[in-house]
Amino acid sequence: MLKDLFVHLCIMIAFLFVGGSIFKNNPYEISLINKMIFGVFTGILGSLLMIFSIQVESETIIDLRHIVMIVSAIFGGFVSSIITSTLIAISRLLFLDINTEVIIVSIAIIFVGAIIGFISSLKISKSKQWIFMVVISTFIFSIILYFRIRHLDYFNIILFNYWGLSIFGGIITYILVNYISRSNYLNYEYKKQATVDFLTGLKNTRQFDLILSNLMADAKIQRKNIGLLYIDIDYFKQINDSYGHQAGDSILHEVGSILIASIREHDNVFRNGGEEFSVILLDMNLEKSIEIAENIRTKIEKHPFLLPNNLTIHITFSIGVTTSQAVGDTPQNIVKRADDALYSAKSKGRNQVCWSLAKEERDHPNRYNLSAKDRYKKHKKFITTR
């Protein structure tokens, strides 16, 4: 018995650590596909445990397949539990000679899977779900086991050992599952904190450097331009001084939401620090980038920001715009041009859009579709850089 229990636990530990990687990227949001994959994964595990089961009689075996079904339900809910139990039931039909008793047991396995899946949907703690699942599944399988071994003189010893095996295996697996879940949670949170700004939920400056470099490399291969907007909230320090940092945080969070709503789904928004934001626009020429920047500036200027003290204020943006070039451009150059344009917008009175032209754009404006250059030239909202 101890030897068989050890083999069962070793197989489960190995499979669960591998299976835990399925939910490593985001332990909070488990897609239907992942639930189905995990159901198949645990179904294979349950079938494997049946191969290494404890043989009571020629057609009667004891194993921890119901613990595997519980793990499936805890992680993947009803869908995963049904898939797992169905695969285990099919495996039982394949491993043993098909007769009435084997068919009844296979149906019971699917029935237990449905009950466990239902328990997983109850609004109770995971520990209570686990206890209910272990007790109910063990009880049902004990009834089936009783009717199959009641003719044996020592059937009561077998039932006692089965309950002990089930409870001990359930406890060990519960500890293991909690460890894997916590590890996945910490991995996700640490990864999130390293890439996402905690206040706005936008990508942070580390992600900006990485994504900009990757996108520029791809853009050069595809010979497409990337638009870059550098954004600064005008006189933000005065807002913090006048209304407090809580009000400033509220504005930053709302600004992030407005920026996301103002761009396409495949574009990127970042908070670079303080009151500074940036936007990367994919496959975008300078004229369209300026139009998007002006749209953002206008939207922010008209938007009423409700502060925590129920006061409403208005803010403005200064925005610097530039685009990458297909040949000879670098992330450092495009960032410098955007920063120069932002500085120009702030030095010329703020609440406006300025852009910086690379030398190649300045020398060949028609090649880069810069009709916006002439449109805004009278306002002197552009600068040129080498």
How does residue 75 score in pLDDT terms, banded at 50, 70 and 90?
confident
- Give the predicted TM-score (pTM) of the model: 0.60
Cβ atoms 255, 271 nearer than 8 A: no
Q: Tell the burial category of 19 from Cβ atoms under 10 Å away from its Cβ (0-12, 13-18, 19+).
A: buried
DSSP codes, 207-245: HHHHHHHHHHHHHHHHT--EEEEEEEETTHHHHHHHH-H
How does residue 224 score in pLDDT terms, banded at 50, 70 and 90?
confident
- Amino acid occupying residue 194: A
Name every residue whose Cβ is closer than 8 Å to that of residue 333 and which is 6 or more positions away in sequence. Answer: 358
How does residue 264 score in pLDDT terms, banded at 50, 70 and 90?
very high
Domain layout of the chain by residue ranges = 2-193, 205-384
How does residue 279 score in pLDDT terms, banded at 50, 70 and 90?
very high
Which two tokens mark 211? Answer: 């994504």
294 alpha carbon, distance to own chain's centre: 32
Does 365 score more than 60 pLDDT? no
- Phi-psi map region of 292: left, alpha, beta (phi>0 left; psi -120 to 50 alpha): alpha
Give the pLDDT score at 376: 45
Give the pLDDT score at 334: 93
User: How does pLDDT run across 315-344, given as a tens digit for each residue?
Assistant: 999 999 999 875 678 899 999 999 999 999
- Tell me the residue length of the chain: 386
Out of 66-70, 370-374, 376-380, the most confident range is 66-70
Does 61 score more than 80 pLDDT? no
How does residue 371 score in pLDDT terms, banded at 50, 70 and 90?
very low
Query: What is the C-alpha separation between 72 and 83, in angstroms, rounded?
Result: 9
| Inter-axis angle of helices 100-120 and 65-95, nearest 10 | 150
Query: What is the C-alpha separation between 173 and 165, in angstroms, rounded?
Result: 12
Half-sphere exposure of 149 (CA within 13 A, CB side): 23
The average pLDDT across 124-131 equals 92
The average pLDDT across 25-44 equals 80
Does 198 score more than 90 pLDDT? no
Task: Tell me how far CA of residue 207 lies from CA of 36, 71, 74, 201, 379, in angstroms.
Answer: 32, 35, 34, 12, 34
Give the pLDDT score at 299: 95
User: How does pLDDT run across 132-186, given as a tens digit for each residue?
Assistant: 999 999 999 999 888 888 888 778 888 888 898 889 888 988 998 888 888 888 8
Which two tokens mark 235? Answer: 């006189």
Of 59, 254, 265, 275, catalytic:
275
Half-sphere exposure of 67 (CA within 13 A, CB side): 28
Q: For 174-194, b where at least 16 C-beta lie within 10 A, e where not — what string?
A: bebbeebbeebeeebeeeeee
Taking domain 2-193, whether its CATH number is 1.10.150.670 is answered by no
Cβ atoms 332, 250 nearer than 8 A: no
Cβ atoms 116, 76 nearer than 8 A: no
- Is 189 labeled as catalytic in the residue annotation? no
What are the strands, taking DSSP E only, across the chain?
54-57, 60-62, 226-233, 268-273, 276-282, 305-306, 312-313, 317-323, 353-357, 382-384
Name every residue whose Cβ is closer than 8 Å to that of residue 81 and which is 6 or more positions away in sequence. Answer: 39, 69, 72, 73, 113, 114, 116, 117, 120
Half-sphere exposure of 128 (CA within 13 A, CB side): 6
CATH topology of domain 205-384: Alpha-Beta Plaits (3.30.70)
